[in-house]
A and B are shown apart, each in its own frame.
Chain A
């Protein structure tokens, strides 16, 4: 409550949230209308030279302007002023050319010069076929032409050749006489229309002139057809008909469905942005944070209070923005009159869609509020807070842009991705507001996962509030040089947290680079191709995963042995790791089959599909495949992920968090959604095994066996009988039935419980160990 009042007294926030949208959109709208008016009032200058040579029936010009018959939207609405050299024949020649052009005579003169150049240019172009090195001259002439054209103030120039009218008339005459090939007798050079497509004004004018000329031409053609007594149907041999199915409401829905989700996402974020900075970093800056902390309220209560305030503001701001935007749009549309509303009607979306907007707004606002609060708490000052939150804004903007892509629609995978899911669901709902039944199926995972994400973010914020180093971060200077020095100098036995994260980012970048650079050689026979692909996979594993990790391990730590967990494992550990791997295999196979059948993931990209085919291909000996797909990844990936990265992440003593993060990283590096999911789950298990056995070897064994079994499974190498336990699917792949799955899950669950209990014990021991003096007294007195 206090927080809300406090924020309400903050004029800046108030302005951002209420005044800004309420005033901004109408102002923007007005400005737009104003601009369009002034824009359309600007006349385009079209110069027609030799206009008297235009055929008289039907006449293209009337009273020195383009005849209203040929203009789509009537004379009044077409901002074109025509200047012709017919001036002499008219009594008041320049009366209707716009007053802004005081020198139509000057224009005409320039037009004459231009016409000369244009004719020249056409002539050179025609001659270019025979003269060899005329390309250069042509370009030179063209450049002159462009500058001339730009300077002339003419937007479109129409050149009527001499004797054009006579030519047309004679063609007509011949038609009347029934000549077989009228064009052959005399071919009058056609109308030349000069324009500059690089200039918008010229483009606008050209489109008007073009459509006018076309309708004039078709009229001319019709009359010629009549005279030649050809059936009129011949003019439209294809008989095209355009049918518009969407009514006004659906068109409106289309507009809204694109605009609403994007605006909603951005508005929710900006609404959360300022209160969050004020309540997080601002309190620190003004020194009221400590005042709050010494009150008996628990940290959780403080965080929730702030969170609710931010969320309230975020929701209000988003709703007010949208309402104001909608009203402005509506007003604008009606004030603009019929022309616009026919093409894009800006009607309100139906009420059910509005309700959906509000419903999906809540988790979105919760997520953003918690994220902003956490980031703002981490910051030391409001300025720093803005620095942190701006990248967040950028990322969210990127996601929204992705949603605006017309072909992106909600899919099972997207429905669990943060931010994207809500935006896409909204898009879908607004688009098909009348028959949203199939989309409702997505609503539940979207809402559940969104709330899950917001809970995670709140949890993070609370964690930050419980972390005194975050709350009392004094303004320590961040100097890149000392930071690098620190990275290099005091080498510890195992890597530090940032080093582990850095390692992961490095691996990711290398992977991306590898995708573009390491392309398999696709020439040769299938066998050669397969071989080159296999080699490539090995190289990629070694170069982009194992080497960086090992390199960093040797450079950055004093004990690569400890970092990579190179301890001799007990045979029991090896055995149980192997057993666990065997038990996990059916589960993972059936899980991915289940997910694939339910279409959770998009289709596999081509390149990966090739690798999959390779895995089950018969051309390579089995041991090669096992070496490439099981042994190499097992060693390389484990060195990196369970070696360097897990050791680094786990240094703080938070083993569980370390395992989760490392397995997510492990998943991400696999890139393809199917593998990401599977790898993350397996990564959790492997992480547990690594912590439990304190050695890398059981982990490598586990990984090796999992991959080998998957490989054998895809090659159908298990001669197991069909029956209660096993089955075959359509492509004769081995299927595991529920008894096997149940037994396996029981084994895995028991193993996990044992390992998690051990993990908790280790974690507890680590924490207690932290309380012991870290460095002996001598070093302290020196360092202080």
Chain B
């Protein structure tokens, strides 16, 4: 469903240098699974997912979503994905229903089908009582619900979650995770980026650990843990990052000594 090969993205630094936010990233995600993208802040997770949602353009490499190249057919790709992240806010001056309706129309859903679909989603997410509330007057949990509803209103085959639980309290975060699981069971292809290990343990079968724009390891979660002889994902994660950093430091030192 999602195929990423050799994806590289460079940014022009403000002081004229070049920062490589993504460096030859390669992975693939299949339908009906949740793929965990694991990494500390600033690892390049968001950049990678933004490229997949065609908001950013890659410097090099190939990214395909549902068989469509993100460079060649960005509109088609956007039609087939749902994208939710901490940065995708909702409008303060729209009610939940209007918000979902508005985006449903943007996705070109037929009016009759749209109302049906909204009822359906509001049932699943139990958000009938907040349907007429303005976005600005909602609690964080309610907002998150609206965001999820907005993400799946067009029933996309691919859904991207970029740290959806960051800044949420435990109860709301749990609700979000439940919703993600429901979506997986519907056969969606899901990318889930986070830096919270427990979520990975709960949701993801296959993971990729990303740090400083590079994939340090990717594959089946349990296999990775056992091949690297670590007790759990958390230890694996810190171990990999420590090794990478020390290796890079050594490289820099040798480079400067030469």
Residues of A with Cβ closer than 8 Å to B?
2, 5-6, 9-10, 286-288, 290-291, 293-298, 468-469, 471-472, 476, 482, 485-486, 489-490, 771, 773-775, 778-784
Given A468-B55, A469-B12, A486-B15, check contact A294 B20 (CB 8 Å).
no
Q: Are A486 and B89 in contact, with the CB atoms below 8 A?
A: no
* Sample of 24 A–B contacts (CB below 8 Å): A287-B86, A287-B88, A288-B88, A290-B85, A291-B90, A291-B103, A291-B150, A294-B55, A294-B83, A295-B78, A296-B79, A468-B56, A472-B50, A472-B55, A472-B56, A482-B15, A486-B16, A773-B10, A774-B10, A780-B19, A781-B255, A782-B255, A782-B256, A784-B19
Q: Which residue on A lies nearest to B54, using beta carbons?
A: A294
B149 → chain A closest CB, angstroms:
12
Alpha-carbon distance between A10 and B78 when the two chains are bound, in angstroms: 29
**Is B205 in contact with chain A by the CB < 8 A criterion?**
no
In the A-B complex, the 8 residue pairs with the closest CB atoms: A287-B89, A9-B93, A291-B88, A295-B106, A296-B78, A783-B17, A294-B83, A296-B79
B126 contacts A by Cβ under 8 Å: no
User: What separation, in Å, do the CA atoms of A290 and B50 have in the docked complex?
Assistant: 10
Q: Which of A9, A290, A297, A774 has the most CB of B within 10 A?
A: A290
Q: Which residues of chain B are within 8 angstroms of A294 by Cβ–Cβ distance? A: 53-55, 78, 81, 83, 88
The answer to whether B18 touches A781, judged by C-beta atoms less than 8 angstroms apart, is: no
User: Chain A contacts of B91 at CB under 8 A?
Assistant: 6, 286, 288
Interface of A is mostly: helix
CB distance from B167 to the nearest CB of A (A): 12
Chain B positions within 8 Å of A471 at CB level: 55
- A778: which B residues are within 8 A, CB to CB? 255
B13 and A781: CB pair below 8 A? no
Considering only residues 99-129 of chain B, those with a C-beta below 8 Å from chain A are 102-103, 106-108
Min CB gap B111→A, angstroms: 14
Which B64-107 residues sit within 8 Å CB-CB of chain A? 75-76, 78-79, 81, 83, 85-94, 98, 102-103, 106-107
Query: How long is the Cα–Cα vector from A540 to B98 in the complex, in angstroms?
Result: 65
**Cα–Cα, bound, A472→B79 (Å):** 22
Smallest beta-carbon distance B153→chain A, Å = 10
How far apart sit A775 and B88, CA to CA, in the bound complex (Å)?
Answer: 33
A780: chain B residues within 8 A (beta carbon): 18-20
Q: How far is the CA of A288 from the CA of B106 in the complex (A)?
A: 14
Q: Which residues of B contact A784 (CB under 8 A)?
A: 19-20, 212
Minimum Cβ distance to chain A for residue B220 (Å): 30
Expressed in whole angstroms, the Cα–Cα distance for A603 and B93 within the complex equals 56
Q: Which A residue's beta carbon lies closest to that of B23?
A: A780
For A6, the chain B residues whose CB sits under 8 A away are 91, 93-94
Which chain A positions have C-beta within 8 A of B81? Answer: 294
Cα of A771 to Cα of B251 in the assembled complex, Å: 26
Contact pick for B89, options A9, A291, A296, A468, CB 8 Å: A291
Q: Check B18–A774 contact: CB distance below 8 A.
A: yes
B54 contact set on A, CB distance < 8 A:
294
Other-chain contact of A783, B19, B103, B134 (Cβ < 8 Å): B19
- Distance to closest chain B CB from A478 (angstroms): 9
Q: Check if B89 sits within 8 Å of A286, measured CB to CB.
A: yes
Cross-chain contact of B75 among A5, A10, A298 (Cβ < 8 A): A298
Give A482 to B108 CA distance when docked, in angstroms. 47
CB–CB B150/A296 < 8 A: no
Instruction: List the A side residues contacting B103 at CB < 8 Å.
Output: 291, 295
Residues in A with CB closer than 8 Å to B57 are 468
Q: Are B55 and A781 in contact (CB under 8 A)?
A: no
Residues of B within 8 A of A295 (CB): 78, 103, 106-107
CA of A48 to CA of B85, assembled, Å: 85
A766: min CB distance to chain B, Å? 16
Contact present for B106 and A297 (CB under 8 Å): yes
Inter-chain contacts of A472 with B (CB < 8 A) = 50, 55-56
Q: Does B248 contact A (CB under 8 A)?
A: yes
The verdict on A290 contacting B88 (CB below 8 Å), with A771-B60, A781-B251 known, is: yes
Q: Is B226 an interface residue (CB 8 A)?
A: no
B55 and A296 contacting across the interface, CB-CB below 8 Å: no
Complex interface: chain A residues within 8 A of B89 (CB): 286-288, 290-291
Q: Which residue of B is nearest A482, CB measured?
A: B15
Contact of A781 with B248 at beta-carbon distance under 8 Å, contacts A294-B55, A295-B107, A296-B106 already known: yes
Residues of B within 8 A of A485 (CB): 15
Do B107 and A287 have beta carbons less than 8 Å apart? no
The residue of chain B having its C-beta at the shortest distance from the C-beta of A11 within the complex is B93
CB distance from A562 to the nearest CB of B (A): 18
Task: State the Cβ distance, B103 to closest chain A Cβ, in Å.
Answer: 6
Looking at B19, B89, B150, the one whose CB has the most chain A CB atoms below 10 A away is B89
Q: Which residues of A contact B85 (CB under 8 A)?
A: 290
> In this complex, what residue of B is CB-closest to A783?
B17
> Given A774-B18, A781-B252, A783-B17, do A288 and B90 touch, yes or no (CB 8 Å)?
yes
B60: chain A residues within 8 A (beta carbon): 771
Contact residue among B55, B94, B107, B256 (Cβ-Cβ distance under 8 Å from A290): B55
